[in-house]
């Protein structure tokens, strides 16, 4: 564990940087932003910042780095127990209940964590089941022994159909094998007061953790939703929270020019107003690959809204697209350099990787290969990131770069907090509610009706009355 994460000088050395030169007309030409646009929007930015400050008490996720000392202690104690008694740890959840744990595990654990022997892993094998594909559940049971596995079922509402169906399936298996002992193999993470999962947890005496009021699923990684999985895998959750706290402090300034999250939001919203309806997130590190997945839900579900706060039909939002450097230089970058000017590309760079790999001499007689020898993978990936940034800029497509000094719990805490604040501030600029998801609820309600859930008769009737599909449109 890192003993320096509370040292002010070390924290400053780990500060993320946002470089948005590639967004500006001076660098990308006619499709870029004019500096005067930033200045003339000052009144709007001031109003959005004031609204963020006024609503802070409602944004409970912003307090997570400050108010969880007791629960962190509980989580660390539980993680130690799990590491001694179980061979596998499985998250049953979907959306924010799954994407956050996956992203942080990928970022901060060994990239081949589950393939390591236990003495090198330092924790049980880790799985997240975030889909209900029947083949997937069957395949999980081929690689775990349920009698040596603990399951963390996560649903804030306590009634998410996908998650509860998984719970029904797993508890039946556990009951058949272990009888009343099944309860030692299930942890419930849910709302403290409402929903079916808390009823089940109380009735059966399950180990239970709570998702705080005011913390929605996509903003929940820094509460027990994500902290339990991280701690079980040996990640320093106190350092993770300290990084988030540091970024929250950095982002206390109202002026975007002094606030990286607000500036990133302002740039994206201005780009959207110029027709950039696609936002590409492209990390240059395998460790950050699933940060892009987590961000995609955060950005899409928060900003994709039909109406604004005044009830006007706006159909706003920006489609997030995931890419991975350098992998997707060979699949997507052709589009980003020569395609339409409807995108903003956000690169995530890393200054210092956790390993150094030198490229040895082997074929010195072949000049087009030999030039690589003596360099390192570290130099190569950094050069490719800078070269792609240059190519995109030169082609006149807007882009910006977030740079992490290194990937560690502190900088990941910073990055998660920055993206959450960026999203909330963008919601204010767009005059929408960034914290609801009515479009998701519509799909859920239709599913409930199809499966015969009580109270959905009206929705069932609506579905039955829908126009029948026409055979001539099926090939």
- Burial (CB count <10 Å: 0-12, 13-18, 19+), residue 299: buried
Of 370, 460, 419, 153, which is closest to residue 264 (Cα–Cα)? 419
DSSP 65: T
Of 224, 214, 218, which is closest to residue 188 (Cα–Cα)? 224
Question: Which tokens go with 420?
Answer: 């959450």
Cα gap 344→279, rounded to integer Å: 5
- Catalytic: which of 76, 184, 322, 444? 444
Concerning whether 301 is annotated as a catalytic residue, the answer is yes
Concerning whether 31 is annotated as a catalytic residue, the answer is no
**Is the bond into 326 cis (omega within 30 degrees of 0)?**
yes
Name the one residue in this structure whose structure tokens are 């579905």: 463
- Catalytic: which of 84, 193, 330, 469? 330
Beta bridge partners of 127: 90
Report the Cα–Cα distance between both ends of the chain, in Å, rounded.
Answer: 59
Concerning whether 77 is annotated as a catalytic residue, the answer is no
Question: Which tokens go with 109?
Answer: 């654990």
Of 1, 2, 148, 140, which is closest to residue 83 (Cα–Cα)? 148
- Catalytic: which of 207, 221, 239, 301? 301
Residue pair 396/337 in contact by the 8 Å Cβ criterion: no
| Residues with catalytic function | 301, 330, 444
């Amino acid at each position: 564990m890192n003993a320096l994460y509370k040292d002010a000088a070390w924290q400053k050395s780990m500060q993320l940087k946002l470089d948005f030169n590639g967004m500006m007309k001076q660098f990308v030409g006619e499709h870029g932003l004019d500096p005067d646009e930033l200045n003339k929007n000052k009144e709007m930015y001031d109003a959005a910042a004031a609204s963020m400050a006024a609503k802070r008490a409602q944004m409970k996720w912003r307090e997570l780095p400050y108010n969880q000392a007791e629960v962190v202690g509980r989580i660390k104690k539980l993680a130690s127990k799990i590491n001694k008694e179980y061979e596998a740890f499985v998250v049953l959840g979907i959306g924010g209940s799954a994407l956050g744990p996956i992203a942080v595990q990928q970022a901060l654990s060994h990239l081949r964590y589950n393939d390591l022997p236990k003495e090198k892993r330092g924790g049980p094998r880790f799985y997240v089941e975030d889909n209900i594909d029947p083949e997937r559940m069957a395949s999980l049971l081929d690689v775990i022994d349920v009698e040596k596995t603990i399951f963390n079922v996560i649903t804030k509402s306590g009634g998410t159909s996908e998650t509860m169906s998984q719970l029904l399936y797993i508890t039946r298996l556990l009951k058949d094998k272990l009888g009343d002992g099944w309860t030692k193999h299930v942890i419930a993470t849910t709302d403290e007061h409402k929903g079916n999962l808390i009823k089940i947890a109380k009735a059966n005496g399950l180990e239970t953790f709570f998702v705080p009021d005011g913390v929605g699923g996509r903003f929940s990684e820094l509460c027990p939703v994500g902290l339990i999985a991280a701690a079980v895998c040996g990640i320093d959750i106190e350092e993770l929270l300290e990084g988030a706290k540091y970024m929250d402090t950095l982002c206390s300034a109202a002026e975007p020019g002094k606030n990286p999250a607000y500036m990133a939001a302002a740039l994206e919203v201005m780009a959207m107003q110029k027709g950039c309806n696609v936002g590409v997130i492209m990390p240059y590190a395998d460790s950050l690959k699933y940060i892009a997945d987590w961000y995609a839900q955060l950005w899409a579900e928060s900003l994709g809204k039909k109406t604004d706060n005044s009830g006007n039909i706006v159909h706003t939002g920006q489609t997030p697209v995931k890419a991975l450097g350098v992998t997707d230089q060979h699949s997507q970058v052709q589009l980003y350099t020569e395609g339409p000017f409807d995108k903003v590309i956000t690169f995530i760079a890393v200054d210092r990787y956790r390993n150094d790999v030198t490229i040895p001499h082997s074929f010195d007689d072949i000049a087009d290969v030999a030039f690589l020898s003596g360099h390192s993978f570290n130099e190569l990936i950094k050069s490719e990131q800078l070269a792609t940034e240059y190519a995109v800029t030169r082609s006149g497509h807007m882009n910006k770069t977030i740079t992490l000094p290194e990937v560690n719990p502190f900088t990941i805490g910073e990055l998660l907090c920055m993206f959450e604040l960026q999203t909330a501030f963008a919601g204010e600029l767009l005059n929408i509610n960034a914290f609801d998801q009515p479009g998701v609820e519509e799909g859920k309600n239709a599913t409930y009706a199809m499966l015969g859930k009580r109270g959905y008769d009206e929705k069932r009737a609506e579905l039955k009355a829908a126009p029948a599909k026409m055979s001539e449109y099926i090939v």
